[in-house]
Structure 1
């Protein structure tokens, strides 16, 4: 009996991990796989690559606003129905993008796609529901590492799709993957909802979590770490394709090297987990982001803009992001375990709004993207290190008190 129960449990865990990893893979298509298609999209919609980059920032803001409703509703209605609804809406948005002939319609349907993709926030809630303790931390590190691997190969995949199917290729594959997630969720998921969750109004739920300084502080740290990575992703086509005149294929190979940072960061994060206090691990990752800003600024002044002067500091930055962000997310999600959906939405909204706004601001200073990126890393990492120190101090005071 025990062996049968264990086998069922193992199958469920494997099915859950497969679903979560497919959602992580799906998450790179609306953003990263599209990057090599910037010139083709700009030509098709008779606009500029900077306008296409703006659509990426708009997508991030749209997905964050969608999450505001999805998370709290999932705490009362369950995860499954909202995940299926989100996948359906995202498919409709992607189909609309495929059929658009005007830039304004493309932006509208990208927003629809983003609203549907807001259901990706449920990955964090599902991790909280289905796994416990250190297994949660390990899975979040695995997801962050896998995301980096997918991101690193996505420009190459995007280039191949661009060559084979032109810019619609990434949308076609997105639709196929979204259908796969829809079917997998139909078969595997029960309508998961924390058993002891009392119904709260959406506003009251957010008031509850946002009033907690530890919860808010950890999610802001995760948002800052994400914003540093996301800002580079958004402006990388402008740097490599437009300024440095790389071919889409050379651009994709360049980002393959960038993806190594995720693998290195993931290995280091798994090694540090359990061997180092969470706040110390967060500080280590944020310090690497600060170092990357210094290195990028120095290289920009001494050598100017080149592949190496951008890529080397970004490898350092992304290793820091992979070390700091998963552990900050886990600590934040542990504050309100009975409201995992609301907690995930509240945090992910901060993450995507931060990423979207910061990347849009950097994009506005198109004359000197490299220096703007470096200064952003220095400023944001300093803010995050300060937040981490304040959280550590508060926790020590609570223990001593």
Structure 2
């Protein structure tokens, strides 16, 4: 594979993984405007974010078997078409209930791109390069929190929040053409795979029984859930509690995302000296310590805007190390069922994230305590899952099936 072709694949796959997050980040600065236009409250608008998370989680379980049965592209085209149509619908809503429902459907459309991208990493690149490829995808993915909130803030202030969904629809069209003409068919459809509920469930259970998958998918998903708590509650924390404008909030969100992006790229260099397992444990231990300190200082009321930003930045740096490594180790044992494994990993991540975001909305008390408390709880649970699960893992070789034993 030439360097130019390699870069092209990374850019397209990265854009596919970024579609869902971009759809989340871009409309966050518009929460107050949406609440005003639809005659509701900001916490109610946040439920449209929660419905998006739920849609992504459920949709990934749908697309996993479809991607294995029909190949990567056909289900992807259907999903992107649904995303485009629901983006048009979101810009025309007149009630919060319709926005919540359409965001759910929009998420189901967008997650086709994310699931297909992760599966195609396993299809198109050697397994020993997967962690580095995932880190590069995070670099492209990082454009979402860098650009989306800032762009969303200015677009909302100038043209209204509906214009955000116009832009999302256009992005869906561009990505549809890019995947059609820029991606190879790296996987042959498995015509033996049944799409009946029982065989699909059996296939998912077979994936879950692989200890390496269940350990690292749950560890990564639980750790990542703290990010969803931050995303869901950040409009309230920054725009309501700290009283920053939508445009300033966009810049804050972009600045904090540098920690996630930068750490994911540092991870590529660390992999030259350390194994993924070592990096996950070290970063997760730091994440637990950071969030516990964060929670204590928040409860005591000792943190202002600057202190909150510093600790959020440190949390995201840890996540930038954890995420690409848990993703690579989760998928390493699979070749035939990579689509189903990718879907199950994404559904786990998004399902836990949806639970975290809904919890933040339900526990809302106009302080940062619910957000930080959930971040601390999910980080601690992720570390406990890792410590418990890795005792029963033994590698037989890169990408091979596992036997239950100690590392």
TM-score (norm 2): 0.91
* SS in structure 1 of the partner of residue 102 of structure 2: helix
| Cα RMSD (Å) | 2.1
Aligned partner of 2:116 in structure 1 is: 122
Aligned partner of 1:160 in structure 2 is: 154
Instruction: State how 1:153-192 maps to structure 2 within 5 Å.
Output: 153-192=147-186
Which of residues 16, 19, 22 in structure 2 aligns to 1:26?
19
* SS in structure 1 of the partner of residue 170 of structure 2: helix
State the alpha-carbon separation in 2 of the partners of residues 308 and 400 from structure 1.
44
Instruction: State how 1:33-72 maps to structure 2 within 5 Å.
Output: 33-72=26-65
Contact 1:74 1:82 in 2 (8 A): yes
> Alpha-carbon deviation of 1:192?
4.2
Contact 1:75 1:339 in 2 (8 A): yes
Aligned partner of 2:67 in structure 1 is: 74
> Alpha-carbon deviation of 1:231?
1.0
- Give the structure with the higher percent helix: 1
Runs of 4+ that moved beyond 6 A: none
Instruction: State how 1:125-274 maps to structure 2 within 5 Å.
Output: 125-194=119-188, 198-200=192-194, 201-274=199-272
> Alpha-carbon deviation of 1:144?
2.0
Instruction: State how 1:2-21 maps to structure 2 within 5 Å.
Output: 7=2, 10-21=3-14
Aligned partner of 2:307 in structure 1 is: 309
Contact 1:363 1:369 in 2 (8 A): no
State the alpha-carbon separation in 1 of the partners of residues 7 and 75 from structure 2.
22
> Alpha-carbon deviation of 1:155?
1.4
State the alpha-carbon separation in 1 of the partners of residues 105 and 206 from structure 2.
29
Contact 2:217 2:326 in 1 (8 A): yes
> Alpha-carbon deviation of 1:379?
2.3
Cα deviation 1:38-79 (Å, max 9, x = unaligned): 011111111111011111011011111111111111111101
> Alpha-carbon deviation of 1:195?
6.9
Pair 81,197 (structure 1): closer, same or farther in 2 beyond 3 Å: closer
Pair 373,107 (structure 1): closer, same or farther in 2 beyond 3 Å: closer
Aligned partner of 1:108 in structure 2 is: 101
Contact 1:290 1:382 in 2 (8 A): yes
Contact 1:279 1:392 in 2 (8 A): no
State the alpha-carbon separation in 2 of the partners of residues 253 and 184 from structure 1.
29
Contact 1:291 1:316 in 2 (8 A): no
276-285 or 300-309: bigger deviation: 300-309
* SS in structure 2 of the partner of residue 100 of structure 1: coil
State the alpha-carbon separation in 1 of the partners of residues 314 and 137 from structure 2.
19
Aligned partner of 1:3 in structure 2 is: none
* SS in structure 1 of the partner of residue 39 of structure 2: coil
* SS in structure 1 of the partner of residue 337 of structure 2: helix
State the alpha-carbon separation in 2 of the partners of residues 25 and 91 from structure 1.
15
The aligned length equals 394
Pair 133,389 (structure 1): closer, same or farther in 2 beyond 3 Å: same
The answer to whether the aligner puts 1:285 opposite 2:283 as a matched pair is yes
State the alpha-carbon separation in 1 of the partners of residues 234 and 406 from structure 2.
47
> Alpha-carbon deviation of 1:295?
2.6
> Alpha-carbon deviation of 1:298?
3.3
Q: Which runs of 5+ in 2 are unaligned?
A: 395-402
Contact 1:221 1:387 in 2 (8 A): yes
390-399 or 44-53: bigger deviation: 390-399
Contact 2:232 2:360 in 1 (8 A): no
State the alpha-carbon separation in 1 of the partners of residues 357 and 18 from structure 2.
22
Contact 2:392 2:406 in 1 (8 A): no
State the alpha-carbon separation in 2 of the partners of residues 366 and 238 from structure 1.
9
Which of residues 373, 376, 379 in structure 1 aligns to 2:377?
379
* SS in structure 2 of the partner of residue 185 of structure 1: helix
Contact 2:71 2:190 in 1 (8 A): no
Cα deviation 1:57-105 (Å, max 9, x = unaligned): 1101111111111111111110101111100001111111111112222
217-226 or 16-25: bigger deviation: 16-25
TM-score (norm 1): 0.92
Q: Which runs of 5+ in 1 are unaligned?
A: 1-5
State the alpha-carbon separation in 2 of the partners of residues 197 and 346 from structure 1.
20
Aligned partner of 2:400 in structure 1 is: none
Contact 2:14 2:117 in 1 (8 A): no
